[in-house]
Amino acid sequence: MIMPEKLTLSDFVTRRLHPVKVTIQLLTHELKSHTEKDVTSIDAALLGSAISTLELFVEDYEKLVEKSGTAKPQPAVERKFVGEEAKK
């Protein structure tokens, strides 16, 4: 995506936050609507779309931060998710 030259970090976040909020609402809805016991089912295409939306936000943010030189992106931290230990 082409970034306007005078786009500040605050402007970027404000402009790009709406799709992230919509994605959060979508996932919250799916969690409430399609959960039986401890299992939630979600359409693979829908989940892929949600992941793509979040990836685009992160990629655009990292490009802006690199370009502006105001801060460096933090390296990814290895996280453990609920139930991950049971799978091993």
For the stretch 5-28, pLDDT in tens is 666 778 777 788 889 999 999 999
pTM of the model: 0.65
On whether residue 38 sits in a domain, the answer given is: yes
**84 is a domain residue:** no
Is there a domain that residue 63 lies in? yes
Distance CA 86, CA 88 (A): 6
The domain in which residue 23 lies consists of 9-68
Measured CA to CA, the distance from residue 73 to residue 38 in angstroms comes to: 35
Q: Quick one: which of 4, 41, 49, 56 has its CA closest to 23?
A: 49
Dist. CA 6–CA 65, nearest whole Å: 13
Instruction: Say how many domains are in the chain.
Output: 1
Residue with tokens 């089912």: 41
Q: Does residue 85 belong to any structural domain of this protein?
A: no
Residue 34 predicted with pLDDT over 80:
yes
Asked, for residue 87, whether it belongs to a domain, the answer is no
